Amino acid sequence: MRSTIHEIRNQLAVAVANVEAFIDGKYVPTPDRLNAVLRALLEVDILIDDLLLVPLPPSISKMVQADVCAIVMSEIVAIEATATAAGIDLRADCCTTKHADCESFLCDPGQISQIVKNVLLNAINYTPRGGFVAVDCHRRPGVMALSVSDDGPGVLPEERAMIFEPGVRGSAASKHKGSGTGLAVVKRIVDAHGGTVSVDRSDLGGARFIIRLPGTQVGDLACSSCVHTV
């Protein structure tokens, strides 16, 4: 139940930040941005229904072939207003040419969205005003590799092994609100998709969360236009 409440708050934060940006004139309410707000509110409606149900063991509800690049970019667009409101520069570096394996990625689309949203909001929450959050999403041999880096306080080496446990918060969390469930949810979903998630020190000086998901694997050819390494 705690993870559901946490996700409701995340979705509402996304919707509120976008609407406030529309009102302040910082963003034009384009169809894409309005759809992002609508998706967040519809997700809140679904999550509220979940609160009325008897909790079930975590599981993937549906595995379908989806365009994972579109899912990731949709979440980045939705979170952009939240970053702007926090005075944070959010930038994304993604494949210039979409890989076929990413266009037919086997996953639960809703849960992939949740992974991206949770990690991005976590980075924004720990990045000071005027800071920087960088998203890198590229095709690697056999996997989609997504990393989110920030220039916040980072995660101490001795805390990295337990930071994904439910209710666990790093020493840098004392000045920030949170329940310690967001990253635990990320790990649960990543594990269910047969992937891996880890954290280390980013080039920006803060934390870098790295998520690798297999999806549909057809050969080991990585995106030929991607020269970055994660």
User: Is 118 in contact with 148 (CB distance < 8 Å)?
Assistant: no
CA distance 10 to 21: 17
Tracing tokens 């991005």 back to the chain, one arrives at: 120
pLDDT at 15: 92
For the chain, the structural domain boundaries read 2-213
pTM: 0.71
Q: Give the confidence band of 168 by pLDDT, cuts at 50, 70, 90.
A: low
Least confident window among 12-16, 114-118, 182-186: 182-186
- ∠ at Cα 223 (80, 189), nearest 5°? 55
pLDDT over 90 at 169, yes or no: no
> Which pLDDT value is given to residue 174?
47
| Helix/strand/coil for 133 | strand
In terms of pLDDT, which residue wins out, 224 or 68?
68
Q: What is the distance between the alpha carbons of residues 56 and 62, in angstroms, rounded to a whole number?
A: 15
Q: For domain 2-213, say whether CATH 3.30.565.10 is its number.
A: yes
Distance CA 16, CA 163 (A): 28
Q: Is the CB of residue 112 less than 8 Å from the CB of residue 150? A: no
